[in-house]
Amino acid sequence: MSNERLQELRGQVDVINMQILELLSKRASIVTEIGKLHTSMGNEHYDPEREAHMLQALEQANKGPFSNETIKALFREIFRASLAMEEQQARAKIRVQRKSKDERTVITLPNGAEFGSGQFQVIAGPCAVESFEQVDEVAKALAARGVKLMRGMAYKPRTSPYEFQGLGEPGLQIARQVADKYGMAICSEIMDQSQIPMFLDYVDVLWVGARNMQNSFLLRALGKVNKPIILKRGAGATLEEFLYSAEYIVSSGNPNVMLIERGIRTFEKWTRNTLDIGGVTVLKLETHLPVIVDISHSAGRRDIANPLARVARASGADALMVEVHPNPPVAMSDAKQQLTIPEFNSMMDEVMQMA
Ligand code: PEP
Ligand code: MN
């Protein structure tokens, strides 16, 4: 008898489970529609005030036997799942998100170098332009190893205002002159949108540093530029934030954006930043934009450049970026991480022999 009752009650619970499932699915399709409206109106998907009101109403309506805390915890979980679904759907629509397995953005520089086509590229050069002789010595070594894109940094975002800030426009002139001598293109970090016209006179690729990754005014302005952009990941930025920053540029009209992972801040001190190599592989899955690995600012030290370069290539990245200086100990910035020319050659030997 009690066995029959047990079967009957279990049967009722099974039916309720199916009803809950049906209601959850119905709820999810309504939420999807709400999400679409939010996106089309440019609204935030998460409305904390609405969620708080709803939880309060549920608490008032709760007749037990579940405690208010339990009911709120269950509904919070439902809200969270809906939000995650909405966000995923919103992300699937952004321009930088990969829509198919073989979608790729290929960026071709004036000298013919391709990024994103399957060729593995090396971007190299000093941390900062210091003099014509310094850049010339490095450039000669880079060109001899087939490097097609050189760093020509003339504005340096230093931690302290009392440190070397870069040569400014004369630095860009030096980089341009030397790059032309060796048939290389140059990239250079732009600090502010007011510099765009000047940068367009000298550089082939405009570079946004980690500190400016979320400067949406600058990003929008670069969306109007007719040259490729390299965008660095902020030290504290998630991959999603990184992609949304790229989206600012692309949605403003410039599809030629490359992403560069440069290490994120963690508790670890033996490297300057923690190279998020898992993040690089995720980026390759999530976006069709070329992805670059900065093995210099992530490590902050030159002694692990060779293994990091191999890791960068093995990760599926389209390029690596490394700093090279004729005499690193006397460099005016990032002295600890820049490679000497022989160290650069050794790194190239290793990385270029990889299949
Ligand atoms: C750089 O690459 O020149 C640089 C300043 O690095 P980050 O913006 O990653 O600090
Ligand atoms: Mn540097």
| CA-proximal residue: ligand 1, atom 7 (nearest) | 210
Tell how far the Cα of 92 is from the centroid of ligand 1, in angstroms.
29
Nearest-angstrom CA–CA distance, 186 and 208:
14
Residue 187 predicted with pLDDT over 80: yes
Place of tokens 């600890």: 336
Fold of 2-92: Chorismate Mutase Domain, subunit A (1.20.59)
pLDDT tens digits, 55-99 = 999 999 999 999 999 999 999 999 999 888 887 777 777 999 998
pLDDT tens digits, 244-258 = 999 999 999 999 999
Percent of the chain with pLDDT over 90: 89
Q: What is the pLDDT of residue 355?
A: 73
Q: Which of 151, 259, 297 to mutate to test the pocket of ligand 1 (most atoms within 8 A of CB)?
A: 297
| CA-proximal residue: ligand 1, atom 10 (nearest) | 210
Residue 46 predicted with pLDDT over 90: no
Q: What is the pLDDT of residue 35?
A: 82
Give yes or no for residue 233 CB within 6 A of ligand 1. Answer: no
Q: How confident is the model at residue 38 (pLDDT cuts 50, 70, 90)?
A: confident
Q: Which CATH architecture has domain 107-352?
A: Alpha-Beta Barrel (3.20)
Positions of CATH 1.20.59.10 in the chain: 2-92
pLDDT tens digits, 256-294 = 999 999 999 999 999 999 999 999 999 999 999 999 999
Q: How confident is the model at residue 47 (pLDDT cuts 50, 70, 90)?
A: confident
Of residues 103 and 41, the one with the higher pLDDT is: 103
| CA-proximal residue: ligand 1, atom 9 (nearest) | 210
Positions of CATH 3.20.20.70 in the chain: 107-352
**What average pLDDT is seen over the chain?**
95
Residue 348 predicted with pLDDT over 80: yes
Ligand nearest to the CA of 339: 2
Give yes or no for residue 288 CB within 6 A of ligand 1. Answer: no
